[in-house]
């Protein structure tokens, strides 16, 4: 365990599993810490802080978080402040969903602020207009009061930050794009002809940037008092967008410094000096290196700290919410970009922030980051089955079972290391097939298995780059230690196929089998040759001889399946247990599941092997049902893992979904059914 991981765990646990609740079939798994606290994240893919204000009259501010459209419960959520840990990390409890005046279940980009008089306002962006709302605690809703068209801006803002001046007027900060289109390809991004990069390897589209603007609005929010002024030195200041703008209050009321977020994870900083805004700086860590937020779409707000003069930030984005504290400022010598004399330099100051740690949630569910891909295995050799999971962030997490197989209690995840480096897949500019805007999504899809038959568990995985990597365990069963990852080769080339696929790996007929999706997006069997090489075993087929396809979409819609090789029905033949995206269409584009049921959502499928492990053949897939009803898991993907708490012949099932939680299903409550159509009204609402 690395030091920072140990610190985080010490914050969360004292007596292992003292709080842990029993697993309830059909419900999400609770975190297994002694106090029920775990990383804070919304019930959606995104956790976007909108404002920290005092709703309940406690010592510290409460928190409004929004999701986007993806996730089990999209919307605007209010979290009550519960306590502050010794290291200043706040703990919140999800209080309730908050109503708002917009048609979608989640609000548009906005900012929530509290006036000195104690009124709470939400200000939202729609085109070039600000929608002004007031929070009504009696109805738990933001009520629209008026709309304010903005003058003097070239385009509609993307994000906003607001701070009250001493005279009651409002400083309104706006992030405005430069108008550069990101995508210039006129066809569909799911077309087989789609090519994200030109022949020279350069992205076919543009690189949008944004700039920071400032205006002033009357105390009642009905008048724009000043012409909008660009604070940024030019229109192309922050790559892509700023995500959220966090003004830092001064003793005089008005802001003299502003933090903004970014798509790629930097936290930008603007400082007002001698009535002039300095050029943008980037926040740095204690090593004085520019910070990169752990996840894509860093979205900051200032979190008020009443006990001292420190500046705290809560930063969300995809995944959970993180806590930062400003450590100080460092002096930086910068060459002037405006001087006509080369070599003229001047001093600037940029903030130093402590390393981010997760903000915490009371009564938390076990959280694995978005789009987790779990494996239920005894990773540390203590006899209790743990969870090892990849996620969209690009990490592989170890969630230790501090309880027993009879009463599991899974602790928050610790990143696994290979050699001395954290496993952290980042495709960067060129390796994500959907373009450089997805440079921070790793989509790690690990399979944990004893690949080299030495008695220790290894990790083989694919990811957003569609590469396949082998991490051999050079430690012991009780003290695992992963070697640096090396490519898996297939007949001389690095293994290839479609992206974001969890490979199915198991011993079949005395040989180690490796099943992935090939270059035609079909199930393909490979046989292990040695630790880093496989050879062709041919496509897998249905009983009628047809190959088994994965999706009805192509390009970025291909791949994405999570494959497990497992003898589910205990007949001696290895079956295919498969997690799909919503648009998955196994085994063909016309009648495949789940899309032929009307795109109801991601699903878990079983393809029974009616042949042998030497000559497998598979049935048409059957769909997972819970207590007789079909069950679905959102949009992007779900990932199943057998959970043999009571032995392999009676394995339960754990299924992850896109919002980062893990669902537990007891064996006797589930069945795989042959479904050709469903009534949408029959789909049960899950807790």
Q: What is the helix (H) or strand (E) element at residue 80, kind and residue range? A: strand 76-84
Q: Which comes out higher in pLDDT, residue 210 or 87?
A: 210
User: How confident is residue 187, by pLDDT bands cut at 50, 70 and 90?
Assistant: confident
User: How confident is residue 681, by pLDDT bands cut at 50, 70 and 90?
Assistant: low
What average pLDDT score do residues 362-391 get?
98
Q: Is 104 in contact with 66 (CB distance < 8 Å)?
A: no
643-665 pLDDT, tens digit each: 999 888 889 999 999 999 999 99
Q: Give the integer Cα–Cα distance in Å for 515 and 506.
A: 9
Q: Give the integer Cα–Cα distance in Å for 487 and 475.
A: 20
Backbone angles phi, psi at 437, to 5 degrees: -65, -15
User: How confident is residue 586, by pLDDT bands cut at 50, 70 and 90?
Assistant: very high
User: How confident is residue 18, by pLDDT bands cut at 50, 70 and 90?
Assistant: very low
CA separation, residue 315 to residues 12, 107, 592, 597 (Å): 20, 18, 41, 39
What average pLDDT score do residues 581-590 get?
97
The half-sphere exposure of 538 on its side-chain side, counting CA atoms within 13 A, is 10
pLDDT of res. 439: 97
Q: Reply yes or no on whether the pLDDT at 84 is more than 90.
A: yes
pLDDT of res. 677: 74
pLDDT of res. 562: 99
Domain 38-186+210-361 class in CATH = mainly beta
CA separation, residue 157 to residues 101, 128, 154 (Å): 19, 7, 9
> Percent of the chain scored above 90 by pLDDT?
85
Q: Which comes out higher in pLDDT, residue 647 or 490?
A: 490
pTM listed for this prediction: 0.93
Q: Is 565 in contact with 508 (CB distance < 8 Å)?
A: yes
pLDDT of res. 402: 97
What average pLDDT score do residues 137-142 get?
98
pLDDT of res. 13: 45
What average pLDDT score do residues 30-36 get?
97
What average pLDDT score do residues 568-580 get?
98
pLDDT of res. 318: 97
503-530 pLDDT, tens digit each: 999 999 999 999 999 999 999 999 999 9
Q: Give the integer Cα–Cα distance in Å for 70 and 80.
A: 23
- Residues carrying CATH 2.115.10.20, the chain: 38-186+210-361
Q: Which comes out higher in pLDDT, residue 683 or 283?
A: 283
Backbone angles phi, psi at 596, to 5 degrees: -70, -10
Q: Is 329 in contact with 349 (CB distance < 8 Å)?
A: yes
Q: Is 286 in contact with 269 (CB distance < 8 Å)?
A: no
Q: Give the integer Cα–Cα distance in Å for 445 and 450.
A: 16
Q: Give the integer Cα–Cα distance in Å for 151 and 228.
A: 7
Q: Reply yes or no on whether the pLDDT at 133 is more than 80.
A: yes
35-67 pLDDT, tens digit each: 999 999 999 999 999 999 999 999 999 999 999
pLDDT of res. 16: 39
End-to-end CA, the chain: 34
Q: Give the integer Cα–Cα distance in Å for 395 and 417.
A: 9
User: How confident is residue 334, by pLDDT bands cut at 50, 70 and 90?
Assistant: low
User: How confident is residue 253, by pLDDT bands cut at 50, 70 and 90?
Assistant: low
Q: Reply yes or no on whether the pLDDT at 348 is more than 80.
A: no
Closest CA to 42 of 455, 320, 344, 421: 320
Q: Give the integer Cα–Cα distance in Å for 637 and 658.
A: 6
Q: Reply yes or no on whether the pLDDT at 472 is more than 70.
A: yes
Alpha helix ranges (H) inside 59-214: none
pLDDT of res. 21: 53
Q: Reply yes or no on whether the pLDDT at 4 is more than 60.
A: no
Q: Reply yes or no on whether the pLDDT at 347 is more than 60.
A: no
Q: Give the integer Cα–Cα distance in Å for 365 and 24.
A: 12
The Cα angle at residue 213 between residues 211 and 216, in degrees rounded to 5: 170
Domain 443-682 class in CATH = mainly beta
Q: Give the integer Cα–Cα distance in Å for 632 and 678.
A: 12
pLDDT of res. 6: 46
Q: Give the integer Cα–Cα distance in Å for 78 and 466.
A: 38
Q: Give the integer Cα–Cα distance in Å for 222 and 238.
A: 30
pLDDT of res. 306: 79
What residues does 325 pair with on adjacent strands? 312
410-469 pLDDT, tens digit each: 999 999 999 999 999 999 999 999 999 999 999 999 999 999 999 999 999 999 999 999
Backbone angles phi, psi at 509, to 5 degrees: 55, 40
Q: Average pLDDT over the chain, rounded to whole?
A: 93
């Amino acid at each position: 365990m690395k030091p920072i991981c140990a610190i985080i765990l010490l914050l969360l646990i004292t007596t292992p599993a003292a709080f842990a609740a029993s697993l309830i079939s059909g419900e999400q798994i609770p975190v297994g810490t002694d106090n029920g606290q775990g990383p804070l994240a919304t019930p959606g893919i995104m956790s976007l802080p909108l404002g920290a204000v005092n709703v309940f009259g406690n010592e510290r501010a409460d928190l409004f978080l929004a999701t986007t459209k993806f996730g089990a419960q999209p919307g605007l959520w209010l979290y009550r402040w519960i306590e502050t840990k010794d290291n200043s990390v706040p703990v919140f409890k999800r209080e309730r969903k908050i109503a708002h005046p917009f048609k979608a279940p989640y609000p548009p980009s906005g900012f929530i602020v509290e006036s000195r008089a104690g009124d709470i306002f939400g200000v939202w962006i729609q085109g070039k207009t600000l929608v002004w709302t007031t929070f009504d605690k009696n109805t738990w809703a933001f009520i629209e009061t008026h709309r304010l068209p903005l003058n003097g801006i070239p385009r509609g803002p993307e994000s906003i930050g607001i701070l009250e001046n001493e005279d009651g007027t409002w400083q309104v900060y706006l992030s405005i794009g430069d108008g550069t289109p990101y995508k210039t390809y006129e066809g569909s991004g799911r077309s087989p002809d789609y090519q994200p990069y030109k022949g020279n390897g350069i992205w076919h589209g543009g690189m949008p940037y944004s700039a920071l603007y400032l205006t002033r609005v009357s105390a009642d929010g009905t008048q724009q008092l000043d012409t909008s002024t660009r604070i940024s030195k030019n229109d192309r200041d922050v790559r892509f967008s700023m995500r959220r703008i966090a003004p830092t209050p001064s003793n005089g009321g008005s802001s003299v410094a502003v933090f903004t977020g970014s798509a790629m994870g930097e936290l930008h900083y603007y400082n007002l000096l001698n009535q002039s805004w300095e050029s943008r700086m980037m926040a740095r860590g204690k090593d004085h290196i520019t910070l990169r937020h752990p996840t894509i779409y860093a979205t900051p707000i200032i979190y008020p700290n009443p006990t001292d003069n420190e500046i705290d930030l809560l930063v969300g984005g995809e995944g959970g919410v993180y806590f930062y504290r400003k450590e100080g400022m460092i002096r930086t010598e910068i060459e002037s970009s405006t001087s006509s004399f080369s070599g003229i330099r001047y001093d600037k100051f940029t903030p130093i922030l402590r390393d981010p740690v997760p903000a915490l949630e009371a009564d938390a569910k076990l959280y694995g980051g978005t789009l987790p891909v779990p494996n239920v295995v005894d990773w540390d050799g203590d006899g209790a089955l743990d969870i090892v999971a990849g996620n969209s962030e690009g990490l592989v997490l170890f969630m230790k079972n501090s309880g027993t197989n009879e009463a599991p209690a899974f602790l928050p995840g610790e990143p696994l290391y290979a050699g001395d480096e954290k496993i952290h897949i980042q495709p960067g500019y060129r390796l994500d097939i959907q373009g450089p805007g997805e440079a921070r999504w790793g989509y790690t899809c690990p399979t944990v298995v004893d690949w080299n038959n030495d008695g220790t568990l290894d990790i083989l995985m694919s990811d957003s780059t569609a590469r396949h990597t082998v991490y051999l365990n050079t430690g012991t069963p009780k003290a695992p230690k992963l070697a640096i990852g090396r490519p898996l080769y297939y007949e001389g080339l690095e293994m290839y196929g479609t992206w974001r696929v969890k490979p199915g790996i198991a011993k079949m007929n005395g040989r180690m089998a490796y099943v992935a999706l090939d270059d035609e997006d079909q199930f393909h069997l490979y046989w292990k040759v040695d630790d880093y090489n496989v050879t062709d075993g041919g496509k897998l087929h249905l009983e009628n001889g047809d190959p088994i396809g994965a999706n009805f979409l192509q390009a970025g819609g291909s791949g994405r399946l999570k494959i497990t090789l497992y003898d589910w029905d205990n007949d001696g033949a290895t079956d295919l247990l498969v997690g799909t995206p919503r648009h998955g269409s196994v085994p063909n584009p016309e009648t495949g599941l789940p899309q032929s049921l009307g795109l109801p959502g991601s699903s878990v499928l079983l393809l029974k092997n009616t042949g042998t492990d030497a000559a497998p053949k598979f049935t048409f897939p059957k769909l997972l049902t819970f207590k007789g009803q079909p069950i679905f898991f959102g949009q992007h993907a779900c990932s199943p893992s057998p959970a043999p708490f009571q032995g392999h012949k009676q394995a339960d099932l754990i299924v992850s979904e896109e919002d980062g939680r893990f669902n537990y299903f007891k064996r006797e409550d589930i069945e795989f059914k042959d479904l050709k159509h469903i009534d949408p009204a029959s789909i049960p609402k899950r807790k």
